[in-house]
Structure 1
Amino acid sequence: MANEAMTAQMRDGKGFIAALDQSGGSTPKALKLYGIEESEYSSDAEMFDHIHAMRTRIVRSPAFSGDKVIGAILFEDTMNREIGGMSSAQYLWQERGVVPFLKVDKGLEAAADGVKLMKPIPGLDDLLEKAVGHGIFGTKMRSVIDAADRKGIAEIVAQQFKIGAQILGHGLMPILEPEVTITIDDKGEAEGILREEIEKNLEQLGADEQVMLKLSLPTSDDFYRPLIEHPKVLRVVALSGGYSREEANALLAKNPGLIASFSRALTEGLSAQQSDEEFDARLAEAIDSIYTASIT
């Protein structure tokens, strides 16, 4: 079964997860970094056409394959479109050997108790059913920690696990992403509280249930080892969180067992104006460096 093969790849595969899920307010910034100015499109539809063309170029590049990129996270609009005459998720798995995930959150609430919880996700069950129909393996949802506030962090982790249970109910693998902002003064303390709260919630999962975790690169090397080795965790991945690719790779390499799930750090240096030869070479260089850091 495809799902069993995908699970095995997520558990044992050497490589990293590409985060190709910029959406809404983050898309103009991603396009600008890619060399497409806001003046070049006049509607959301045109904007998403541009971002889909960018993602298609990445996914169809010879460098982008399951040998090094074991998974990719998509935005809903990307899932609904085609690549190479196939649905995007099917193309990823069948043609590239890359496990497809879907971003399902709808953005963040206003800050309270040092955190930004996820906004409600209306129609989530319908979206999850649709994802299953497209051949999606799992989901990703992000919330943000801005301070070492135990009440806020406990609430953010509880929310992630509650919605994660709903996702598990559809046979999908949830990636829980309680991101710790890398610039806060009490980052290390916040990570300590976060790890404790995650461990508490993991114990509430069913005997056969697992989740994945997407966490900021930790202040202390190998800090998330207990989570990486936890039987209820399929894989722990790291976001680049504002670090350059070079910085993120250096930090990642100090955390054996933690693999990348980079977005901006993956596409850094890519441009719409590059020839296919130059684009593919730049992407291959990025993929090789992130892969090496992920398997160190």
Structure 2
Amino acid sequence: MDDMELEDVAKALVAPSKGILAADESTGTIKKRLDSINTPSTEETRRDYRELLLSTKGAGDFISGVILYDETIRQKATDGRPLTELIKAQGIIPGIKVDKGTKPLAFSDGELVTEGLDGLRERLNEYRELGARFAKWRAVIAIKDGIPSQYCIDVNSHALARYAALCQEAGLVPIVEPEVLMDGDHNIDECYAVTETTLKTVFDELYQQRVVLEQMLLKPNMVISGSDCPEQADVEEVASKTLYCFEQTVPAAVPGIVFLSGGQSEQQATMHLNAMNQMGKFPWEISYSFGRALQASALKTWQGKPENVEAAQAAFHHRAKLTSAARDGEYRPDME
């Protein structure tokens, strides 16, 4: 794993039947998750929860890589081993979130830009020393009255491409994540239009900045109705419009598309992924990089209690197995 070429790492992350676990919630986000089960967010509880996921027996059958947060990549498991060693022992590739989160975009009302390019080269070198073999940077594009502006899409795409180039220079596979948010009452066609424009801009910037497409992965949203849209598109429409959008915008050289779940329920995200994989062969692998859609059941089962660890791991294993089936187009609702 340590001496794999970038192309080999990218391919391994989208190997058949496998996808990526996003366990890179920032300290603020993980606090919200732990609040939901009445568990205080401390360095220890955060470690315990993530160790629970990462040490689940057989997780490596369904999980190819895990995206960690800065705190987690430095932590040790209860047995004293670094968490990265725990991950590698399962045959899973450690990765790291490297952006510094979003801030309001100057001279733009209600739009955000992702920060974190300052000092990134040095951070990437350190993360590689700590065992990471891939990285992730998330840009956020919202749909509301009059937004997104092309200005917002341009600025975020430029930052994504600069990040991706620095990753490849440092020997890490970049996961490029331009997320068009589900929040809002927009319909699926508005999501399609914004996703298409965003992806075209992102790949234009990646080309300008000499990013090697064979050595990266794309982590996009699905083309989907806004969460408050009165008319929700069905599974088939989401799958077909998403794939059509990506056929128009994503070069065949990209090894894989690892979809984010972005606020969908576990079952919803699984059904959409399954429908896409049933629609035929595409130039890229169609896989997953799910956070909540892999973790929700496990978190709810755990409740912060040591006696629930085994049951929570069983819940996580079950969800990962179903998501893996969907990644192969073999999921059925009766498997739930």
Q: Distance in 2 between matches of 1:207 and 1:162?
A: 9
* Number of the residue aligned with 1:197: 201
Residues 213 and 104 (structure 1 numbering): CA distance in 2 closer, same or farther, change over 3 Å? same
* Number of the residue aligned with 2:140: 144
Residues 288 and 226 (structure 1 numbering): CA distance in 2 closer, same or farther, change over 3 Å? farther
Q: Distance in 1 between matches of 2:47 and 2:266?
A: 23
* Number of the residue aligned with 1:282: 315
The TM-score normalised by the length of structure 2 is 0.78
Q: Is the 8 A contact 1:153 1:197 kept in 2?
A: yes
Structure 1, unaligned runs of 5 or more: 42-46
The AA in structure 2 aligned to 1:27 is I
The answer to whether 1:160 aligns with 2:160 is yes
The answer to whether 1:234 aligns with 2:255 is yes
CA deviations over 1:108-135 (Å, ceiling 9, x no partner): 0115376411123443222211111122
How far is 1:206 from its partner? 3.9
The TM-score normalised by the length of structure 1 is 0.87
Q: Is the 8 A contact 1:128 1:167 kept in 2?
A: yes
The answer to whether 1:258 aligns with 2:286 is yes
Q: Distance in 1 between matches of 2:9 and 2:16?
A: 9
* Number of the residue aligned with 1:44: none
Q: Distance in 1 between matches of 2:31 and 2:14?
A: 34
CA deviations over 1:85-112 (Å, ceiling 9, x no partner): 332223212x111111100111101153
Residue 219 of structure 2 aligns to a residue whose secondary structure is: strand
* Number of the residue aligned with 2:222: 217
Q: Distance in 2 between matches of 1:189 and 1:281?
A: 40
* Number of the residue aligned with 1:246: 267
Which of 124, 135, 152 lines up with 2:131 in the alignment? Answer: 135
Residue 132 of structure 1 aligns to a residue whose secondary structure is: helix
Residue 20 of structure 2 aligns to a residue whose secondary structure is: strand
Residue 120 of structure 1 aligns to a residue whose secondary structure is: coil
Which of 29, 45, 48 lines up with 1:50 in the alignment? Answer: 45
Q: How does 1:25-174 map to 2 (within 5 A)?
A: 25-33=28-36, 35-37=37-39, 40=40, 47-65=42-60, 67-83=61-77, 84-93=79-88, 95-111=89-105, 112=108, 115-147=111-143, 148-174=148-174
Q: Distance in 2 between matches of 1:143 and 1:161?
A: 11
The AA in structure 2 aligned to 1:85 is G
Q: Is the 8 A contact 2:168 2:211 kept in 1?
A: no
Q: How does 1:168-187 map to 2 (within 5 A)?
A: 168-184=168-184, 185=186, 186-187=190-191
Q: Distance in 1 between matches of 2:268 and 2:210?
A: 38
How far is 1:258 from its partner? 2.2
CA deviations over 1:117-158 (Å, ceiling 9, x no partner): 112344322221111112211111112001343232122111
The AA in structure 1 aligned to 2:263 is G
Q: Is the 8 A contact 1:212 1:235 kept in 2?
A: yes
Q: Distance in 1 between matches of 2:28 and 2:180?
A: 20
Aligned pairs, number: 285
The AA in structure 1 aligned to 2:71 is D
Residue 117 of structure 1 aligns to a residue whose secondary structure is: strand
Residue 153 of structure 2 aligns to a residue whose secondary structure is: helix
Residues 126 and 207 (structure 1 numbering): CA distance in 2 closer, same or farther, change over 3 Å? closer
Residues 64 and 227 (structure 1 numbering): CA distance in 2 closer, same or farther, change over 3 Å? farther
The answer to whether 1:188 aligns with 2:192 is yes
The answer to whether 1:19 aligns with 2:22 is yes
The answer to whether 1:292 aligns with 2:320 is no
Residues 191 and 114 (structure 1 numbering): CA distance in 2 closer, same or farther, change over 3 Å? farther
The AA in structure 2 aligned to 1:127 is R
Q: Distance in 2 between matches of 1:14 and 1:289?
A: 10
